[in-house]
Amino acid sequence: MKNKLNELIKSSIEAKKNSYSPYSKFKVGAAILTEKGNIFSGANVECASYSLTICAERVAAVKAISSGESIFKYIAIATNKKQIAFPCGACLQFLTEFSNDLKIILVKSEKEYKIFEMKDLLPKNFVL
Q: Which residues are catalytic?
A: 57
Q: What is the DSSP letter of 69?
A: -
**Residue 28 contacts Zn ion per CB under 5 A:** no
CB of 123 to Zn ion, least distance (A): 18
Q: What are phi and psi of 96, to 5 degrees?
A: -65, -20
49-68 mask for Zn ion (x: CB under 5 A)? ------x-------------
Q: Please provide the distance, in angstroms rounded to a whole number, between the alpha carbons at the two ends of the chain.
A: 34
**Residue 30 contacts Zn ion per CB under 5 A:** no
Residues 31, 76 contacting (CB under 8 angstroms): yes
Nearer residue to Zn ion within complex by CB, 11 or 79: 79
CB of 86 to Zn ion, least distance (A): 9
Which strand (E) or helix (H) includes residue 89? helix 89-96
**Residue 89 contacts Zn ion per CB under 5 A:** no
SS3 assignment, position 22: coil
Question: Which of 6, 71, 81, 88: binder of Zn ion (CB under 5 A)?
Answer: 88
